[in-house]
Structure 1
């Protein structure tokens, strides 16, 4: 039994792990490498294995850094089945098609400037990948994959449909329970169920994104969110919220609805969700109450929409988004992308950053070098579409909405596994892994790219 690492090894993104057992090769995740700058060469590089020889792919969840290279895997020869939860299947289709469109656009942009760079993959490749999704996994129900290989998908509490993946492996006289954490949620969130790790695990591949720090409490973050909105209303400008399309947008809609119902936000705001992907993802939520927490699931089953708000408009079309640029006050606009690296939010920043009455509310992680990080770090002006735009708006940074477990939650999650003999730390910076490793029992590895281990 062998385990090798082909992404997220001593880095945060690009999840891709390979299990070789009983003559079968099973891939867990195949994600995009992401960062402040384009990583075309790294994403276009060889996988470190032959895609045509992979028998099956298991997908933990639909974030781009976990599913974003699946179309490339298919383009290069993978033709086996893909197994994920039903919600992950639907969200991954959305994410992969959007990614393919962006790669096509990037290739066209280079060609316009006289450079020949082919798209990493196109929408036909993404459709080919979608066609390979087979059985939909249900939480807690084992699936027999091959003789001696069984998989169980377990709640991870990170985004809709996210899972930790438990493989029960037999090869000759050897038997192992190998767990892939996927991304672990913090728990205590109304939209999702809490993570549900198994016990009796022999080895675990574990994410460490926030392994060196804890998040601010959720209640404090919600209070700060409402206060930032009230403050903007007092000063008369718009509120712009750079928003991640999967989970964060839906979470904010949930808390906005609660804020209005509880009287913590005054009525009268014009509300806009200005992100085609977030709009589609919100609709997908409504199809999967089985993957939601009890409160929103009850609402869906009773025919209510957990994300409905009086006056909320979904601005699907570009012309409707452009029309918002003429609105100078009284609007709350949620738009992608969360790090302001692209998307419609850059247009809204262009028209609101220079307004002293406006507020920009950041509610997610901003990587070094991104426009979001530059603004958060106190820039006096930023360049947008060739123009120098002064930063006069009030900037709020609210850090407690993270969909990742913090240090204490990661330690508690690991403690429930039953003292695994081997722990492989992935999805984290070197200092983060080092900080967490000292607090975990058993043999702890920090694998490098293409490294291989006996399990």
Structure 2
């Protein structure tokens, strides 16, 4: 009896993060990526939920790249029984040592911080999703392979990796199994990307999975020289305001791109030699990996690029805290979506200052703190504190490590013919639908699928995929802003709104009215629950 190749999507379906694609052939099972969900608190809550499979029965993982939304659940996978190899490029393996360990430390530190919060006194403590020790154990299972060389992660399934042009070590994954050819794009880089060649790959597949992060966005063509001119203008504008320029940045790749451009601008005399603080131990470690692979990188013209006199790599917490008194500097800190790490500390100390500038240089997932700030919030809640947003908020799109709409369509077209189905993954609903319509109008795939998390498909040779399991219906509210975003927005403005009621008695009535709404809803729920059990 012929074995069917099947695909189940456990993440990055109608959302950008949590990439995890399960392929099975008979009793063989591999994962392409095993990433962390990032965004709203509801979405992040999925990270602690049960896997949609038994980790002990997974034979191998093929990892497209080291970003946490693709690799960040590997420590938990290993802690729950996965013993196989994690196949990836050598640069990805080098980066994982630091990326996963840092993720483990963040899990432990953030959990300890949440448990210490006064508003949680007396409640059951949280446990970290995984520990630094779990993360190091996962890194120990990494198995490097060369680009474009076939390997067999499990008997009956062979694979090879192709440059994806996204970040250092990133790859697309080609699979051959059960007479079927499949390509998973991973994350694809744009044209004119610093450090890396444009994405590559073969053509003629049965099924293709393509990321869709910017499926609804067409950027103006931008050279590296043009990008530097935009950055120059932003830095000069921020310094003219007199405060700090705070840049939430991803420790891996985005930090190194910014340092490359800032170094070149300083070298050319285009911007003054102001101090630049890289407040991320992970960014420091990732930068050393870049230096290790310097011979493989494009645009790396000066050996001392990352060693400018004005560049200060901040390691200790004490050094980070001392930046509270700095003004007129550039402060780069992770995480890029402001969801964890030292950037939250710098936002608390700079967002309320009119002379400060916050510059976003990367994608901000729906529901993330970065997205809330970027969309114009007047107040935000950070680690239990209400913070007024008075700083100038700016954004540069030209640093994206993702292909835009036109580049995605070009990549899909270059994979033709696609005899079966084109799956559009790793995108929010608007991006997916825009890309789907264009791909359909250009007849780029036999059938075009925008799957949901939890759906399973049979992948036959030279024929459309057949859905054999429906997706999870309980995730609609998680894929975007959730009630906790709304709560934070409401509570940060509540005191101000109440203070506008001049009469003390009327203000008290307003508080009582709000309490009655909550009490009536609680009473309604109790009655409804009681009727259900009678």
Structure-1-length-normalised TM-score: 0.91
Any residues of structure 2 matched to 1:132-281 within 5 Å, and which? 132-134=141-143, 136-169=144-177, 171=178, 175-219=179-223, 220-266=226-272, 268-281=273-286
CA 1:396/1:205 → structure 2, altered by over 3 Å: closer, same or farther? same
Q: Deviations over 1:315-351 (max 9, x none)?
A: 111111111211223x111112222233222333333
Question: In structure 2, how many angstroms separate the alpha carbons of the residues matched to 1:94 and 1:250?
Answer: 15
Contact 2:181/2:206 (CA < 8 Å) preserved in 1?
Answer: yes
1:130 aligns with 2:128: no
Question: In structure 2, how many angstroms separate the alpha carbons of the residues matched to 1:454 and 1:352?
Answer: 52
- Structure 1 runs not aligned, ≥5 long: none
Question: In structure 2, how many angstroms separate the alpha carbons of the residues matched to 1:336 and 1:310?
Answer: 22
Question: In structure 1, how many angstroms separate the alpha carbons of the residues matched to 2:158 and 2:339?
Answer: 40
Contact 1:8/1:426 (CA < 8 Å) preserved in 2?
Answer: yes
Question: In structure 2, how many angstroms separate the alpha carbons of the residues matched to 1:7 and 1:234?
Answer: 44
Q: Deviations over 1:80-114 (max 9, x none)?
A: 11111111112223222222222223443455433
Contact 1:30/1:70 (CA < 8 Å) preserved in 2?
Answer: yes
1:205 partner SS: strand
1:452 aligns with 2:452: no
Name the residue aligned to 1:115. 124
Q: Deviations over 1:294-322 (max 9, x none)?
A: 332x65xxxx1332323211111111111
Any residues of structure 2 matched to 1:26-105 within 5 Å, and which? 26-37=30-41, 39=43, 41-105=45-109
Find the partner of 2:369 among 368, 371, 380: 371
CA 1:406/1:243 → structure 2, altered by over 3 Å: closer, same or farther? same
Question: In structure 2, how many angstroms separate the alpha carbons of the residues matched to 1:420 and 1:289?
Answer: 36
Of residues 249-258 and 432-441 in structure 1, the stretch that sits farther from structure 2 once superposed is: 432-441
Any residues of structure 2 matched to 1:301-340 within 5 Å, and which? 304-329=303-328, 331-340=329-338
CA 1:388/1:125 → structure 2, altered by over 3 Å: closer, same or farther? closer
Displacement of 1:6 in angstroms is 1.6
Displacement of 1:200 in angstroms is 2.0
2:135 partner SS: helix
Alignment size in residue pairs: 442
Question: In structure 2, how many angstroms separate the alpha carbons of the residues matched to 1:383 and 1:41?
Answer: 19
Q: Deviations over 1:172-197 (max 9, x none)?
A: xxx22211110111131121121112
Question: In structure 2, how many angstroms separate the alpha carbons of the residues matched to 1:103 and 1:347?
Answer: 17
1:287 aligns with 2:295: no
Question: In structure 2, how many angstroms separate the alpha carbons of the residues matched to 1:318 and 1:221?
Answer: 32
Question: In structure 2, how many angstroms separate the alpha carbons of the residues matched to 1:351 and 1:105?
Answer: 20
Contact 1:216/1:399 (CA < 8 Å) preserved in 2?
Answer: no
Find the partner of 1:356 among 354, 357, 373: 354
Name the residue aligned to 1:21. 25
Question: In structure 2, how many angstroms separate the alpha carbons of the residues matched to 1:339 and 1:373?
Answer: 7
Question: In structure 2, how many angstroms separate the alpha carbons of the residues matched to 1:389 and 1:255?
Answer: 31
1:415 partner SS: helix
State the structure with more CA Rg. 2
Question: In structure 1, how many angstroms separate the alpha carbons of the residues matched to 2:145 and 2:261?
Answer: 30
Find the partner of 2:409 among 404, 408, 411: 411
Q: Please, what is the CA RMSD of the aligned residues? A: 2.2
CA 1:453/1:391 → structure 2, altered by over 3 Å: closer, same or farther? closer
**Which has more helix, going by share of residues?**
2
Contact 1:68/1:99 (CA < 8 Å) preserved in 2?
Answer: yes
